A and B are shown apart, each in its own frame.
Chain A
Amino acid sequence: MKELLSKIKAFFCGKNAHAKNAVRYFLIVVAFLMFLFFSNDFDLINIQQSAIVMAIGIDKEEEGFSITSQIAVPSASSSQGEKGSKTVNVVTKGKTVAQALEKVNEKTGWYPKLVFCRLLVLGESATQENVFDCLEYFLRDEYITDGCLLAACDGKAEELLSTQTPIDASGALAIEKVLSNHAERVGASLPNTLRLFAASYFGEAKSGFLPLVKAEPLSPQEQGQGGGSESSSSGQTGQSGQNGEKSGGQSGQESQPEKVFSASETTLFVDGKRIGKLSKEESFLYALVKNQLRLASYTLPYGQETYTMTIKRSSPSVKLEVGKEAKLTVELALTAGVADASQAKDLPDTADEGDFPKPLLQEASKKLEEDIRALFEKCRALGFDLFDAIDKLQKYENEHFEDKKDTLLQEVGLSVKVAVRGIR
């Protein structure tokens, strides 16, 4: 003890011959503590006590929020002959989202870890009022990334996340598949993230969109073929607990019809409230103008037949000009080829210079122009800024912004030009 005191004294006073060593000891202690400082959590991450939340479903109720947390449960795969990891849906309620999430810990003893949460699903009730009543917590919270996928659903988010699917043991992972980058690239869905949705909400137009996730039942034949392998590790038993709260393991004891997910429809939001939705075809058109699609499939009737084209590349451009009248110009350059027809065709007929492609491409161009105009008018009537006209007004025609921002959407004219270039 005396030696230690003399070393401390030496360090501060510098008169001791061992002062140099004291500094070294001090540096070692500092280095060790800095290591702890930068990599703490040694004692706090305990896999047995942590709930790795993969997805969260949010439903609004009269007295607050109902949160469904889909939690991954690590388990030894060989123990019961199960494949894949188990998931558990824990339903908790609270006056606020944070309170409801906190109850996961109260009910299960698991501390909910949101760092791996990649999906938020809003139930229909949550989208009837400002969705940011539900989302504010996730925007503020530093432990969940706002890069997570955000989606809406009809009905309850709890039911959607509890859906048994042959695609994956976890409903959340199966939903993420239909909202993947690939699905976005081929125009199959219009995924959105919390960050981008919130950015559009806080923007001038206050318009945003979310993919509408649906669980679609498989036919009995399909269920027979695909449902066997992982069904034992999916599904929610839905045991009732106190206060109407439920927590259920994925026991697989109850047989529920298996479903697959789709996100081909899109919900529209203005001021954070759901104001309408786009059908599958309309969503595809929106994707065509919004994103640069690759290898997208487009089917159209022509004559007595139906043709499917593969859009190998789409290059959209939307410009706003404000003169005496405001005008939006949508230009869409597509490179597409005929992939198939409802009746067999000779190969030369569907080739680049064959009989069919040219008039078919013209027909496609004409139909796309009409459909895009109709889509725009539908959204205009809903007050939804489909082509970000207000955003463009602010960025590129800022001198007119204050005068026009409130009336632009109703006044703006639309010109659509679709050029389809054929390619095999």
Chain B
Amino acid sequence: MIKDYKLPAVNTRQLCFLIAFLFPIARFLEAPRLLASAAKGDLLIPALLSLLLQGASIAAFLFLSYKTDKTLFQLIENALGKWVAKAVYFLLTAYYLFAAVLPLLDLEKFSYAAFFDTAPTTFSFAPFFLLSAFLCTKNFKAVGRSADLCLFLFLLPFAGILLMSIGSGDFSSLLPVFSEPFKSSLKAVAVTKPHFADGALLLPLLGSYKYEKGAAKKAGVAFAVSVLFTLLFLAFFYSVYTTLSPREHYAFAKIAQYFPALAVVGRIDLILVYLLSIVYLFYACLPLQLAVDCFCKAVNLEKKGLYSAVLHIGLFVFVLFFNSRYDAVYALYSQYLYPLFFLFADLLPLLFPLLLIKKKTKAGTK
């Protein structure tokens, strides 16, 4: 029997903050460029489609947490047996590692471009792995606390960046809506799927999060806020860069730089960018935290430290070798491997509620 961990609860507030303030950051770096490449001025449409899919995954998670207090592992174990549960957790471990790659490479490239004027040393990015390794040794309380921090780290810089960029934008460039063929929007949904795959990030929190009365409404509002932030940011981005949008990397670090006062006082917008980068740090750590947790549960390891250390040394080596193949990795994910994100981030969360039905039938036959 797998040891039943006493997981500290992630409360509803933290879950809402996670949805509203942590998840949107994934779409602020490279997703705007990719959306604009495929759908041009219609970039809001594929973004909305992707977000609706994500909304369904979040709804499935809330439904599960409403119906049961069990962890995902226990749920699978009860319905399908221990070995299936272990296999699913191994698969989830692999998926989270796979999902962590793009945020990791994005963050590395972005930090070098935004925070360094000249060639940084190879080890400049190493502190990220130390932070991540530390967070991975912690339980899900760390996820909840990250979410709490994100309220302040996200809201102020986000509002500041939008306010600073409003004067540089030409919002008529978003017109006309539906000017591109719907096929382009679907293509944009596919290529940006890795950036809209947050549905899967909630699954392991099952059992750690205790459903509270009214939580569905609160999470619904948080999700609506997340959608609003994402669409607002994309609209601002495209209005600033219009036809240049498909060429513009690191969207949130750039759109505020045309604020007239910055010519006099310098790039004070970078302070806001730093703050959002910390939110992105937490976001990039999240799949790694989940991967470590899933692996430790699958092999029944109590202490995560050793595995976390080994994983992060491996990731460091991976980043060292693959940062020069950034475009190739991106092409691989967005052209060939994106169906995996649909499978794990959209389909799987919608399938897990079926485990409850099976369990009921079993109980009934007994």
Contacts and interface: CB of A to CB of B under 8 A. Distances in A.
Bind each other: yes
A41 B117 contact: yes
B250 interface: yes
A40 B305 contact: no
B176 interface: yes
Interface in B102-118: 111, 113-118
9 contacts: A12-B305, A13-B305, A34-B131, A37-B115, A40-B124, A111-B118, A147-B258, A195-B241, A395-B172
A38 B260 contact: no
A395 B176 contact: yes
Interface string A385-402: 000000000111010010
B249 interface: yes
Among B115, B117, B131, B247, the one with the most A-chain Cβ atoms within 10 Å of its Cβ is: B117
A86 B198 CA distance: 54
A321 B125 CA distance: 55
Given A11-B305, A40-B124, A394-B179, 12 more contacts: A12-B309, A14-B303, A40-B115, A40-B116, A44-B117, A44-B118, A142-B249, A142-B250, A145-B257, A203-B243, A398-B179, A401-B179
A123 B14 CA distance: 58
B257 A147 contact: yes
The majority secondary structure among interface residues of chain B is helix
A76 interface: no
Contact of A12 (B172, B257, B303): B303
A382 interface: no
B131 A30 contact: yes
Contacts of A143: 117
A30 B130 CA distance: 6
Contacts of A146: 244
Interface in A160-184: 181
A47 interface: no
A381 interface: no
Interface of A: 11-14, 23, 26-27, 29-30, 33-34, 36-41, 44-45, 111, 113, 115, 118, 139-140, 142-143, 145-147, 181, 195, 198-200, 202-203, 394-396, 398, 401
Contacts, number: 90
B126 interface: yes
A36 B172 contact: no
A30 B117 contact: no
A147 B260 CA distance: 10
Among B125, B258, B274, the one with the most A-chain Cβ atoms within 10 Å of its Cβ is: B258
B306 A12 contact: yes
B309 A142 contact: no
Contact of A396 (B175, B244, B250): B175
Contacts of B130: 26, 29-30, 33
Contact of B258 (A39, A181, A195, A395): A195
A118 B242 CA distance: 22
Contacts of A26: 130, 134
A110 B326 CA distance: 30
B242 A203 contact: yes
Contact of A37 (B118, B127, B249): B127
